[in-house]
């Protein structure tokens, strides 16, 4: 409940947070069920980068026609399907997760800013899809680098858990990383950050971005590191510009 000043009590915040978390969890579970049902199609999609680099070079070998994965544990197929369903549910539930996040912070915004909810969710989904698409495009190049760096005498045969974990985590890392500008803009809207503070800490932010990307991306190759770091630095500058334009508009509105 809110007090006369419009502020919500602590228990009200906790109750609101619990409600948003429950809805988000249900959305992820629903997405996981859908990913479980469409697992064969998702698996074919995730195997495509591996098939691109294998080609027909190993056709007729002991390891299949070129892009099969080697299972050495009888429980591994079930674990892999559970992993794909879990991460798939998270990806499919992203619009709901973004909407619930917006609804949680919306009471602390001005009336005019609360109308940005649809725009916030739309841009979030668009950026998430762009990040996942960029990761999917870069995976064959990252795999080619990682396989080739060991030399021609090494034969690479991946297990399902290791390979699919690599692909899924890398894809989600890019998708979540592309939410970076929305987070910065939201923190400015909430008054936690300002464009001036973001400019002041720009050099430290760039170093931090590269360090975080190096931790988030499982491949660790310089190509992938550069591919995600550059957009995030650009997003940082875009967030500063958006915050500055917003501050200028509010100053003009206050002077009228």
pLDDT greater than 60 at residue 2: no
Cβ-in-10-Å burial (0-12, 13-18, 19+) of 145 comes to: middle
Residue 178 burial (CB count, 10 A): 25
84 phi, psi to nearest 5 deg: -65, -40
Q: What is the pLDDT of residues 149-185, one digit of tens each?
A: 877 777 778 889 989 998 998 898 899 889 988 888 8
Handedness of CA 243, 247, 252, 256 (dihedral sign): positive
pTM for the structure as a whole = 0.82
Instruction: Indicate the domain borders of the chain.
Output: 10-55+65-255
pLDDT greater than 70 at residue 195: yes
List of residues 6+ apart from 152 with CB closer than 8 A: none
Structure tokens at 118: 């649809």
DSSP-assigned states of every residue in 167-179 = HHHHHHHHHHHTT
Q: Residue 87 has what pLDDT? A: 94
Q: What is the pLDDT of residues 114-157, one digit of tens each?
A: 778 888 889 999 999 999 999 999 888 888 888 878 777 777 78
Distance CA 82, CA 77 (A): 9
- Confirm if 175 and 131 have CB atoms less than 8 A apart: yes
- Confirm if 3 and 11 have CB atoms less than 8 A apart: no
Q: Residue 116 has what pLDDT? A: 80
Strand, coil or helix: 70: coil
């Amino acid at each position: 409940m809110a007090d006369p000043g419009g502020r919500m009590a602590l228990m009200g915040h906790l109750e609101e947070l619990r409600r948003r978390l429950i809805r988000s969890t249900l959305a992820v579970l629903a997405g996981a069920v859908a990913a479980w049902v469409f697992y064969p199609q998702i698996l074919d999609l995730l195997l495509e980068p591996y098939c691109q680099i294998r080609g027909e070079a190993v056709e007729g070998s002991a390891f299949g026609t070129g892009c099969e994965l080697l299972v050495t544990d009888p429980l591994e197929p079930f674990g892999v399907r559970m992993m794909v369903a879990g991460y798939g549910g998270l990806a499919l539930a992203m619009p709901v997760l973004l909407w619930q996040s917006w609804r949680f912070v919306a009471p602390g915004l001005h009336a005019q800013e609360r109308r940005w909810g649809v725009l916030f969710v739309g841009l979030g989904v668009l950026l998430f899809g762009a990040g996942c698409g960029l990761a999917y495009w870069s995976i064959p190049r990252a795999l080619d680098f990682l396989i080739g760096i060991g030399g021609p005498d090494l034969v690479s045969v991946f297990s399902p858990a290791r390979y699919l974990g690599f692909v899924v985590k890398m894809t989600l890392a890019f998708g979540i990383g592309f939410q970076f500008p929305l987070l910065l803009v939201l923190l400015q809207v909430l008054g936690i950050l300002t464009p001036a503070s973001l400019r002041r800490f720009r050099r430290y932010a760039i170093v931090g971005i590269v360090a975080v990307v190096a931790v988030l991306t499982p491949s660790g190759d310089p190509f992938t590191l550069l591919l995600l770091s550059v957009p995030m630095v650009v997003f940082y500058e875009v967030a500063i510009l958006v915050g500055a334009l917003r501050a200028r508009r509010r100053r003009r509105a206050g002077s009228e």
